[in-house]
Amino acid sequence: MVQKILFVCLGNICRSPAAEGIFNKKIKDRHLENLFFVDSAGTGGWHVGNLADPRMRETASSRGIELKSRSRQLNENDLYEFDHILVMDKDNLHAVKSLIKDDFNPVNSKIKLILSYSKESQLDEVPDPYYGGQNGFENVINLLDNAIDGLIDYLTN
């Protein structure tokens, strides 16, 4: 059975498309593409229809990661459509969970911070690189690269 994975950040132009691209590359490298459907979304709708930020696309491309998706806004159906919803920070965690009408809904258990799967980082959140310099984009890729290894290991064991 195909597992559906959704990565979520604020605008869906930096962190979550990077996570989607990294995940897609890693499952392709491991010959696991047939086991997963992967997407990304933003809690805000400011960038709907746009490609990922050019700085993030360039940073990802320098590591052989292709970011092809277009930004879309998270909707309530996503909570039920996807098996795993991985968010980049606590603000987005709260925004995603605010779409759930019932605190006891089992959907709550499939929404997690992506860095909870990291084997190396002591951080809880992937920082938003949008207003920073190039180092911020490199840091995001590094954090996600490690966390996604942990996520794939978890999902395939």
Rounded Cα gap, residues 154 and 157, in angstroms:
6
In angstroms, what CA-CA distances link 43 with 11, 105, 112, 142, 154? 6, 20, 15, 23, 25
15 included as an active-site residue? yes
CB 88 within 8 A of CB 8: yes
Catalytic residue from among 9, 39, 53, 89 = 9
Q: Is 130 exposed, middle or buried (0-12, 13-18, 19+ CB in 10 A)?
A: middle
Catalytic residue from among 39, 89, 128, 145 = 128
Catalytic residue from among 14, 15, 53, 89 = 15
Look at the alpha carbons of 84, 56, 43, 38 in this order and tell me if their dihedral is positive or negative. negative
128 included as an active-site residue? yes
Query: Which residue, among 63, 61, 65, 154, has the nearest Cα to 116 in the 3D structure?
Result: 154
Which residues have a catalytic role annotated?
A: 9, 15, 128
